Amino acid sequence: METKMARRALHYRLQFSLLKENPVTPWNEDLQTLVDLYLGRFVQKVGVLANFTVETQVVQYARLAKDVTPSADGTEFYINADDLKHRNISVARDQCDDGCCVVFQFKSANDFLDAAVLDDGEQVLHFMAALPDTAHTPLYIRPANQDLKKATSFELPGWGIVAILNPDALNGGNSGQEATSIESTKARELQRVMGLFVSEFRTLLGVPSFTRRQRDEDALSKSGSRRQLLFLPSLTYGIVDWELDVVMRDRFTTIMQTAIETLQSTVELVEALPELSVLERVQTRVETAVSRLETILCSENKQQECVDVSDLSSLLAMARQASEFTDAAYYDHTMIRQLYFPQEQMLGVYAPLLAPLILPFVLGLIRELKRIKAKRAAKKDKLQ
């Protein structure tokens, strides 16, 4: 799970992309509306973990691989998993399970999908739906190991997921179908892809898999040592409260540790460099961060307001604020500039340039003073 998680951050940008191989392939849906419909409640539910920004885009002439191989009877088309790797990068490991193929090097060949402008510390999570040309439908991913079944999606650990849409299912490839049947098939196809997005989103956030917990629980219950527990998914939000609590506790511990370590590093930096000038805004940020940490770690014996230890959402929110203030103080541009370019180094850099100018400047100044003195003496003699 740890290897598939995204890097922990305080801000995430959720980038939903539709990759169209052929611009004329029909697509009658609004991507933003689909995201709000299928993932809106999930994003709202996990909003206590971080700040999420949602953006959508449609990329034209986007192909998953250069070559598409038809089946023997021409009814199906395949992309080899090896073709999804960047040709200039060494061969990586492929894993395919439950229709999802993991390919590690697709990201290198698709850097153009990254967001151009990001906030400080913002992490991008990618959710891509590939819409192939109708001439290559249905399209599947064929793993290198022929014993594994074909896949319709692949994930990039810590980066995102790519799911392949079926244009026939979306647009009613079979002309003999009724309108209600076409809409039903279309809804199932969209639900399948959006369901993969939700599942990958859970993995990127580090949400524990309830299906794995259920299998372990079933195995233990068969031994008769204790009664069986049943883990039920949330059909409304995509995440149940106990799963969210697990992630919140993990993030709270990590953010608190990071904030305290950053605060200690700031203090050590200032003590190690007495000549380092610290602006008032840096001092304010440090004081605010310390105040947030004291509120979290306070004891009932102290005369200050304390947050209930059972209120995870409030504790996590204050920990996030403390982390933001500590990062803003430590990485302040004035501090960074003095850290890498101290006064001694600036003197060492500019002294060889300015030293040759000092003697001519001093001699010129002496000469000018003598001229002014002589001029005043001459004027005084003239008056006499």
- Please report, for the chain, how many H helices and E strands are present, in that order: 9, 10
Owning domain of residue 34: 11-89+101-209
Average pLDDT for residues 259-280, to the nearest whole number? 87
Mean pLDDT of 287-296: 90
Decide if 235 is inside a domain. no
Sequence-separated (6 or more) residues with CB below 8 Å from residue 293: 256, 259, 260, 263, 322
Q: Which of 325, 340, 355 is the last residue of a domain?
A: 340
Which residues are bridge partners to 84 per DSSP? none
Contacts of 279 (CB under 8 A, 6+ apart): 332, 334
In this prediction, residue 225 carries a pLDDT of 58
Domain assignment of residue 3, yes or no: no
Q: Which two tokens stand for residue 314?
A: 């409030």
3-state SS record for 230-286? CCCCCCCCCCCHHHHHHHHHHHHHHHHHHHHHHHHHHHHHHHHCCCCCCCHHHHHHH
- 320 close to 255: Cβ distance less than 8 angstroms: yes
Mean pLDDT of 353-376: 88
Checking if the pLDDT of 104 tops 80, the result is: no
One domain for residues 194 and 130? yes
**pLDDT given at position 98:** 45
In a domain, 358, yes or no: no
- pLDDT at 175 > cutoff 90: no
Is 130 domain-assigned? yes
- Could you count the other beta carbons within 10 Å of the beta carbon of residue 181? 12
Mark whether 196 and 323 lie in a shared domain: no
Q: How many CB atoms lie within 10 A of CB 136?
A: 19
Q: If DSSP codes are grouped into helix, strand and coil, which group holds residue 14?
A: strand
Say if 15 falls within a structural domain. Answer: yes
Instruction: With H, G, I as helix, E, B as strand and everything else as coil, classify residue 314.
Output: helix
Q: 157 and 15: one domain?
A: yes
Task: Say if residues 79 and 64 touch (Cβ distance below 8 Å).
Answer: yes
- The residue whose two tokens read 């199906």 is 76
* Reported confidence tier of residue 86, pLDDT bands at 50, 70, 90: very low
Write down which residue in 161, 185, 209 finishes a domain.
Answer: 209
* Claim to verify: residue 147 and residue 275 sit in the same structural domain: no
Cβ-proximal residues to 158 (8 Å cutoff; 6+ apart), any chain = 3, 4, 5, 6, 7, 204
Residues 204 and 251 in one domain: no
Domain match, 250 and 122 both: no
Any domain includes 309:
yes
Same domain, 17 and 155: yes
Whether 149 is covered by a domain: the verdict is: yes
CATH of the domain at 141: 3.40.390
User: Which burial class, exposed, middle or buried, applies to 110 when counting CB atoms under 10 A from its CB (0-12, 13-18, 19+)?
Assistant: buried
pLDDT on residue 300: 57
Tokens of 358: 């000092």
Distance CA 10, CA 318 (A): 12
- Give residue 247's pLDDT: 92
Instruction: Indicate if 79 and 202 belong to the same structural domain.
Output: yes
pLDDT given for residue 89 in this prediction: 29
**Domain contains 5:** no
Q: In this structure, what DSSP letter does residue 69 have?
A: E
Does 38 share its domain with 146? yes
Structure confidence at residue 18 (pLDDT): 93
Q: Is the pLDDT of residue 160 over 70?
A: yes
Number of domains in the chain: 2
What is the pLDDT of the chain when averaged over all its residues? 81
Q: What are the percentages of helix, strand and coil residues in the chain, rounded to 5?
A: 50, 15, 35
Question: CA-CA distance, 141 to 130, in Å (whole number)?
Answer: 12
Closest C-alpha among 41, 40, 50 to residue 206: 50
> Same domain for 68 and 200?
yes
Same domain, 204 and 245: no
Any idea which residue has 């647009």 for tokens?
Answer: 171
Going from the C-alpha of 241 to that of each of 177, 234, 298, 313, the distances in angstroms are 42, 9, 26, 12
Is-contact 323 255, C-beta < 8 A?
yes
Residue 338 has pLDDT above 80, yes or no: no
pLDDT at 298: 79
Are 255 and 205 in the same domain? Answer: no
Cβ neighbours of residue 50 closer than 8 Å, sequence gap 6 or more: 9, 10, 11, 12, 320
